[in-house]
A and B are shown apart, each in its own frame.
Chain A
């Protein structure tokens, strides 16, 4: 495998709340290699967006480490931080609110370059904006077009161009296609994958759409209430998933295969419990059909197959024999 680009170690992000602390991201360790995509899935509010934002320090993590090429970046300041920051960009979910309505397409894409003074002169600046726009399928007639004059897909291309302008190595994609209709989703996903190939980009792809994540990811991380429940290569997750929560998620994928339409659905009961000061132990236990006494103890991520980690004592026991 290629070089590890981004690594987190026991990353935590707690938000203060009047009743205690919201454990949005709790003890997440992950690795993303250069040119690879990590898909992060989980239901709404499970902390996937917070995780993405914590890695690029949009939210300063409470504790833990984020390593960029082996260097902890959480305490970097000034010029050192700038250097790393420009290598880690983000694409947002809502292509409507993530673009400043007062700026034209060209201005929007120029912004990151202007702020970081990366171009030596006007001609170079122009040239970089032009090549980035071309890369994202935006011809120069869009220069003076404003976000409200474009459709969602084009806007998302602008969002992507803005993220790419600084030539980053790592991009956090926070549900970049969930606000788009299916045909446009495919366009944007293909664009992302083409760019990954040509520029050796690494993505952290946050989504709740399992079909999308299978298409684009090399590895998948399943999160539940701020914690990792299962972490494995994509094919492994889809074929040999172990955790009951992953099973429930996967069984919710709609199928067009008529022979499988009567397949068994794992329907979860109850609701996500309160993320404020959660008890130790498995957070999924209250909804888990196989819950037992042992689930009240803290669960450790155990490697049950090569690169396949599960945070469930039961799964670990079964795999172990």
Chain B
């Protein structure tokens, strides 16, 4: 009898805070943890690069040393100008990773605000916001970014704005449709009976319930963003050479990839690893934030 009582009371009687539970659920997902570790490692190496890797190596050219395959001195080999690929990839991560993260961060936030408002309030607000996103969507993303950069001028910060703007419409639409399905739920009506404000309902009741799929979607978007940064660089309106950045490294070596495969494979691998880890982290985060998942 005592044993039984113990058992029935012990399972729900968890005095852990919400944050602790989220952490527990997140660590249950091994892939997500590995993804997070890899991502943090990548960010730390590129962030601390100036402390242990001389920037001059990134731009130092030497025709004698061109097209070296990976060796003890040049870990990742050298490109056609004899520049050290390792240094370029490490420093390139500074731009690719942070530009990518900032861009999807901005798109995520603005997407939630715009899509949330459109879906929640409906009517005129919805029409105005959705027609605005329609206009943005009717222009191909890359063309939109080019126009914005052309209007604002070149530079890392301006490029970030350009990229975010081209991501917002899709994000806003996803949020809007998710919010519309949640809006009619009885618990939203219940919140109104005790006088919860519109703002409170949107951010305490609706957004938390639609966050999961949004996080995954936005994480998936990161790969696309890194590639877009590269395409802008390739078109000469993104990051100006010789500043390295993963996409640019691939595009500037494009002509030589046929005979010197490592020039494409190595930076490509970095992009892939970063995107993959981020997707794993996104998956893990989605499950961790969902109380329906087992602890």
| Residues of A near any B CB (own CB < 8 A) | 56, 58, 82, 85-86, 88-90, 92-94, 97-102, 104, 111-112, 115-116, 141-142, 144-146, 148-149, 159, 162-163, 165-166
Contacts and interface: CB of A to CB of B under 8 A. Distances in A.
A75 B190 CA distance: 21
B200 to A, nearest CB: 7
B86 to A, nearest CB: 46
B194 A101 contact: no
Interface residues of B, number: 25
Interface in B57-113: none
A56 B13 CA distance: 36
B16 interface: yes
Tell me whether chain A's interface is mostly helix, strand or loop, or mixed.
Answer: loop
Given A115-B194, A144-B12, A144-B16, 14 more contacts: A58-B193, A89-B194, A92-B186, A93-B186, A98-B190, A99-B190, A102-B209, A111-B191, A111-B196, A112-B195, A115-B191, A115-B200, A148-B291, A166-B194
B292 A85 contact: no
B30 to A, nearest CB: 24
B9 interface: yes
Contacts of A104: 18, 291
Interface in B182-215: 185-187, 189-197, 200, 205, 208-209
Interface of B: 9, 12-16, 18, 185-187, 189-197, 200, 205, 208-209, 291-292
B12 A97 contact: no
A89 B193 contact: yes
A98 B186 contact: yes
Contact of B194 (A94, A97, A116): A116
Contacts of B194: 85-86, 89, 111-112, 115-116, 162, 165-166
Contacts of A112: 194-195
16 contacts: A85-B193, A86-B195, A89-B193, A92-B186, A97-B185, A97-B187, A98-B190, A101-B209, A101-B291, A111-B191, A115-B197, A115-B200, A116-B194, A148-B291, A163-B193, A166-B194
A86 B190 CA distance: 12
Contacts of A102: 205, 208-209, 291
A100 B205 contact: yes
Contact of B13 (A94, A100, A141): A141
Contacts of A163: 193
